[in-house]
Chains A and B, each alone.
Chain A
Amino acid sequence: MQTPLTKNIKPGRDFATLADYRATGGYEGLRKAVTSMESLQVQQVVKDSELRGRGGAGFPTGLKWSFVPMGENAPATKYFVVNADEMEPGTFKDRVLMEEDPHQLVEGIIIGSYAIRATSAYIFLRGEYHLSAERLAAAISEAYDQGYLGKNILDSDYSLDLYLHTSAGRYICGEETALLNSLEGKRANPRAKPPFPQISGLWGKPTIVNNVETVCNLPHILYYGLDWYHGLGRGKDKGTKLFGASGRVKRPGIWELPMGTPIREILEEHAGGMQDGYRLRGFLPGGVSTDFMLPEHLDVPMDFEAIAAHGSRMGTGTMIILDDRTCPVEFVLNVERFFSRESCGWCTPCRDGLPWVVAILEDLIQGKGRPGDLDLLHHQTRMMGPGNTFCALAPGAMEPLQSALKYFRDDFEKYLRRPVLAEAG
C-alpha cells in the first residue's frame, strides 16, 4: 500500500530534513511543473486528478482554482493561501504533516501558486502549533536558499514569495473568508459570498485558500502522474487520506489509507477496536461538525459521497468515537459549548442560537428540562441550518445535535422522565 503523504515520516526520526525529502523525489514535482508545464496545464492535471479538498468540505481543488482569472488581463497580484488553522475538535492530521515533513507542504504551495500564477503565498498557521511554526520557517528559508522560492524559481520566469503567518486563536479563522479577514489583520468575521475569494480575496485580489493536506497531495500528483494517482483510491474518490480515530479505542492515532477504506477497517484493524469494557455507540466521521453515524454504518467506505449517502459528511476524516459509557447528551453539550464559545458573533442565529442550545441542554442534564425542549432543540437545528446563517459554523454545530436527536432520542428523553422534573420548570 502506498503512502505518498507520510512516506517520509519514520519512527525514530525527528522529521524529514531537506535532504531526506529530496531523497524520495522531493521538489521534482515542482521542477517538472515550472520547467516543462504552463500554469494552465498544471491546473488541468490537478482537475483531472479529481483531488478534493481535505479541509472538510471536499470541494474539487481543480474546479476551485479554475475560477481564478488567468492570462494577460488578469490582475497582476494574486495570492495562494494555505489554511493551516487546524482547530476542528477531533482533528490532528495537518499538524503531523507540517511537523514531520515540512518541505512537502512548501513544495505543494509553490506548485499551487504556480498553477494560478500567484505572486505571494501565505501559510495561515494556528498560534498554538509552535513546533510546526519552527519547522516551516526553517523549511521556507532553505527553499529560498535552494532557489525554490524567490526570483526566477529554478531559472524559470516564475517568482514567488512565501510568508508564514501565525495566528492568535479562534476557530472561526478556519472559515476561508474569515481567514482572509484575519490575514488582513482584522477581526475574523466571515465575508459575504459572492464575490468568492478566487475573484476578490485577500486585499481584494484573486486568492485561493487550500487546506494543508490538500496542498501536500500536489507534489505527488505532478511528479508521479494521473494514472498513479487514480490507482491509489479504493472507492470513487481518488488518492489517499489521513484517517484518524480518538476516544475509547485501543490505539488512537492517524493512518494514511486509500480513499474509500471501509470505516470498520479503520476502527478495528488500525485503531484496534474498542477498549476493553467499552462498546461502540456511534461516531462522528470527521470532526465535531459532522453528523453522528452508528455501528450499523461500519461497512460504509470513507468516500465523500458514500458518507453523505448515510446522512453525514466525511469532514476531516478524523473520527471521534462515542462509547456506551459516555452520555450522548453530555457529549453534544460539550460540542455545543465549543461552538457557542467560538461563534464570532457576527450573525444573530449563531450568536444567540448557540448559547440558547447550550442553555437548553444544560437544563435538561440538570433535571430542569421542560416538555417541548426536544422539539425546541429540533427547531433550532432548522433555524441554524444551511442558508440561515452567514457562514457554515452554526450549520456545522447543528449536525451532531440533529443526528443525536435522531439516533439517541431515548437518552434525551431519559432526562425528561426523571421524577425531579415534576417540580422543575
Chain B
Amino acid sequence: MNNGGATIDRRLSEAEIAEILEDASHYTQKSGASIEALKIVQKHRGWVSDESLKQIADLLDMSVDELDGVATFYNLIYRRPVGRNVILCCDSVSCWMLGADRVREKISERLGIGYGETTPDGEYTLLPIVCLGACDHAPVVMVGEDLYHDVDEARLDQMLNKGA
C-alpha cells in the first residue's frame, strides 16, 4: 500500500499461504477459514486487493465472488488501502453521551480527515465502530490494536503522537 507503490509482491508469500493453510486445517471445509485468511493477508499487507482476493479464493476452493461477498460483509476487512494505523471511534450510546462526537471532531480537526478517509502521509484512517466494550471508560477510541480510555484532549495527544 503506502510504500510508494514500489516493491510489494503481488503474489501471496509462502508465509501467508502457510498461515492460511494451517488455519484451514481447523475446519472441516477449507472455506471455513475465509475470514481468517482475509485477516492474515491484511495483517501482512494492510488491506485485501483484488489480486490477493483471487489467490485466497483459489487456496480455499471458493469462487472469487463468494469470497468477495464475505470480505465486503465484515467491516474490519479492508478492501481499499488504509493508513498504517486505523483509528476506530466508538459512536455507540454510552460513548455518545460522554462526548464521542466531540472526540471525533477533534481527531478530524487534527488530522484533516473525516470517516472513511486516510491522511495524505498514509499514517491514519478514521472509521466509526460499534461499542468497544469499555463503556465504564467512555469515550473510548482504538488506534491500531491499542484501546484508549476516557479520551480527552490530553489522551488525544498521547494517542496521535505515538505512531508518528
Pairs A–B under 8 Å by Cβ, sample size 30: A87-B133, A88-B131, A89-B93, A92-B135, A94-B133, A128-B76, A166-B39, A167-B35, A167-B74, A168-B76, A169-B76, A170-B73, A170-B74, A171-B130, A183-B32, A184-B32, A185-B62, A186-B70, A188-B73, A188-B74, A203-B32, A246-B138, A247-B94, A247-B98, A248-B98, A254-B136, A326-B97, A334-B91, A334-B96, A338-B93
Residues on B with beta carbons closer than 8 Å to the beta carbon of A94: 133
In the bound complex, what is the Cα–Cα distance between A260 and B60 (angstroms)? 49
In the bound complex, what is the Cα–Cα distance between A128 and B130 (angstroms)? 10
Interface residue stretch chosen among B3-11, B22-30, B103-111, B118-126: B22-30
Contact A184/B29 with A170-B75, A334-B93 known, Cβ cut-off 8 Å: yes
Interface string of A356-372 (1 = CB under 8 A from B): 00000000000000000
Does the CB pair B130–A342 fall under 8 Å?
A: yes
Q: Which residue of A lies closest to B37 (CB)?
A: A185
Q: Find residues 247-291 in chain A having any chain B CB closer than 8 Å to their own CB.
A: 247-248, 252-254, 288
Does the CB pair B70–A187 fall under 8 Å?
A: yes
In the bound complex, what is the Cα–Cα distance between A8 and B20 (angstroms)? 36
Having A90-B131, A334-B93, one finds 10 other A-B pairs with CB under 8 Å, namely A90-B135, A127-B76, A165-B36, A169-B76, A184-B29, A185-B31, A188-B73, A203-B29, A252-B137, A338-B130
Size category of the B interface is: 35 or more
Contact A320/B93 with A130-B145, A246-B136, A253-B136 known, Cβ cut-off 8 Å: yes
Does the CB pair A168–B130 fall under 8 Å?
A: no
Residues on B with beta carbons closer than 8 Å to the beta carbon of A166: 36, 39
Determine whether A335 belongs to the interface, using a CB cutoff of 8 Å to chain B.
yes
Residues on B with beta carbons closer than 8 Å to the beta carbon of A167: 35, 74, 76
Determine whether B38 belongs to the interface, using a CB cutoff of 8 Å to chain A.
yes
In the bound complex, what is the Cα–Cα distance between A87 and B76 (angstroms)? 14
Q: Which residue of B lies closest to A254 (CB)?
A: B136
Does the CB pair B142–A128 fall under 8 Å?
A: yes
Determine whether A241 belongs to the interface, using a CB cutoff of 8 Å to chain B.
no
Q: How far is the CB of A197 from chain B (nearest CB, A)?
A: 16
Residues on B with beta carbons closer than 8 Å to the beta carbon of A182: 35
* A contacts, CB < 8 Å to B: 77, 86-92, 94-95, 126-130, 163, 165-171, 182-188, 203, 244-248, 252-254, 288, 318, 320, 323, 326, 331, 334-335, 338, 341-342, 344
Interface string of B45-84 (1 = CB under 8 A from A): 0000000000000001010000001100111110000000
Contact A168/B75 with A203-B28, A318-B135, A338-B92 known, Cβ cut-off 8 Å: yes
In the bound complex, what is the Cα–Cα distance between A254 and B32 (angstroms)? 35
Q: How far is the CB of A173 from chain B (nearest CB, A)?
A: 9
Contact A168/B97 with A91-B133, A252-B136, A334-B92 known, Cβ cut-off 8 Å: no
Q: How far is the CB of B127 from chain A (nearest CB, A)?
A: 10
Residues on A with beta carbons closer than 8 Å to the beta carbon of B131: 87-92
Does the CB pair B92–A92 fall under 8 Å?
A: no
Does the CB pair A252–B34 fall under 8 Å?
A: no
Contact A87/B136 with A165-B36, A338-B92 known, Cβ cut-off 8 Å: no
Does the CB pair B93–A168 fall under 8 Å?
A: no
Q: How far is the CB of B44 from chain A (nearest CB, A)?
A: 16
In the bound complex, what is the Cα–Cα distance between A89 and B128 (angstroms)? 14
Determine whether B129 belongs to the interface, using a CB cutoff of 8 Å to chain A.
yes
Does the CB pair A331–B93 fall under 8 Å?
A: yes
Q: Which residue of A lies closest to B90 (CB)?
A: A89
Residues on A with beta carbons closer than 8 Å to the beta carbon of B32: 183-185, 203
Q: Which residue of A lies closest to B30 (CB)?
A: A185
Determine whether B89 belongs to the interface, using a CB cutoff of 8 Å to chain A.
no
